[in-house]
Amino acid sequence: MFSDRELERYKRQILLFGEEGQERLKEAHIFIAGAGGLGSPIALYLAVAGIGTITIVDMDTVDQSNLNRQILHTDRDVGKKKTVSALEKLREYNPDITINAIDTTIGPENVSNLVGRADGIVDAMDNYPVRYLLNRTALKKKIPFFHGAIRGFYGQATTILPGESPCLECIFPNAPPKEVFPVVGVTPGVIGTVQATEVIKYLTKRGRLLSGRLFTWDGLTSAAEEIAIVRNPACPACGTGTTKEKR
Amino acid sequence: MTVKVRFFARFRELLGTDILAEPGSGTAIVSLVRDIAQEKKEGYDAIFDDHGNFREFVIVMRNGKRVETADAGKTVIADGDEIAVFPPVAGG
């Protein structure tokens, strides 16, 4: 059931997917791993769309050098925990939803508890070891994993549906070397909103998800392309391969 | 024989993309990509190790199907093939 205020707030999107669709968003619990470049637009758009419960996890503190892209945080937040800053903003954007902001490092020992009974995991991480961990957690819990990653003007996204689509390790079995990646804020803006769109489509059962397709965005040429991706039957995470944990 | 090589992400920044090549028959994927990448040292080094093998994280696809990089030396290209080469993008 919606309050009058909620009906008014979501009026334009109820036109799209009805009160039934809005109800699905309200009942949903989405886990966002990271409150940085990707996590910012993902959390903002999912909050204003009316996702009933959002858990957002980050271990970092807001740094001046984050502000060119991490739009959840402002100049006066420098030095604050990202979770504190995120909680303040998201509450301001939508006081009708529940936000859990957890200040911790995601690791093999806590990932399952952190994700809990969430209906989906959104990847807003900046490294593959934790992405592999989230991918395997999503597979284990049989919930979707909404992957996104960026560098410079370039980004990629895909939606992993356990048992149906290729998983992250099918697509990228080996992590690239670590680097301080260059980035301009519009790129996580594009990819983060693609990921948030996927979440909304998945929950409201609308459209065609990015499962089995790697969406790529090249901001320098303004070209969106897709690469067909297939499951690897010998995948160590979702197939018959050895199950050694990726670190 | 004409084939197309598509680079993505950082590889594209360094080497461009949608490169049409006319390799001789019997050319392996790894040699084709090496020849193209050799145009620019930084691009070559991003994709290949010191022995001229694909770096372990590089993804190679032929007509939308994954080619194990270890097999790219044995996989011979055919006319009309489209080869995609890309790294996992990591930032967030």
The reply to whether residue B90 touches residue A171, judged by beta carbons under 8 angstroms, is: no
Strand ranges of the sheet holding B19-21, from the earlier edge strand across to the other edge: B19-21, B3-7, B82-86, B59-62, B65-67
pLDDT mean over B56-69: 91
Q: CATH: 3.20.10.10, 2.102.10.10, 3.10.20.30, 3.40.190.10. Which one for B3-86?
A: 3.10.20.30
To the nearest 10°, report the CA torsion of A155, B75, B53, A237. Answer: 50
Nearest to A21 by CA among A47, A49, A53, A56: A49
Residue B42: count other Cβ atoms within 10 Å of its Cβ. 11
Q: How far apart are CA A48 and CA A167, in angstroms?
A: 29
**Residue stretches of chain A with pLDDT short of 70:** 242-247
Domain ranges of chain B: 3-86
Domain ranges of chain A: 4-228
Average pLDDT over all residues of chain B: 94
B87 touches chain A (CB under 8 A): yes
B5 touches chain A (CB under 8 A): no
What are the phi and psi torsion angles at A148 (to 5°)?
A: -150, 150
Could you give the maximum distance between any two Cα atoms of chain B, in Å?
A: 42
In this complex, the residue of A37, A39, A154 whose CB is nearest that of residue B89 is A154
Residues 6+ apart with CB under 8 A from B3: B20, B21, B22, B23, B32, B77, B78, B79, B80, B81, B82, B83
Contacts of A125 in chain B (CB under 8 A): 92
Q: Please name the residue ranges forming H helices in B9-57.
A: 9-15, 29-37, 41-47
What are the phi and psi torsion angles at A174 (to 5°)?
A: -130, 135
pLDDT of residue B86: 95
- Residue matched to tokens 């193209």: B36
First to last CA, chain A: 44
Interface of B with A in 49-78 (CB under 8 A): 56-57, 59, 61, 64-66
Residue A32: count other Cβ atoms within 10 Å of its Cβ. 31
Contact of B60 with B85, CB cutoff 8 Å: yes
In this complex, the residue of A39, A181, A227 whose CB is nearest that of residue B90 is A181
**Secondary structure tally for chain A: helices H, strands E:** 8, 8
Contact of A109 with A137, CB cutoff 8 Å: no
In this complex, the residue of B61, B84, B88 whose CB is nearest that of residue A176 is B88
Counted across chains A and B, CB pairs separated by less than 8 A come out at 80
pLDDT of residue A245: 54
The pTM score is 0.95
Its ipTM equals 0.89
Model confidence pLDDT, tens digit, residues A40-84: 999 999 999 999 999 999 999 999 999 999 999 999 999 999 999
In this complex, the residue of A128, A152, A230 whose CB is nearest that of residue B88 is A128
pLDDT of residue A242: 67
CATH fold label, A4-228? Rossmann fold (3.40.50)
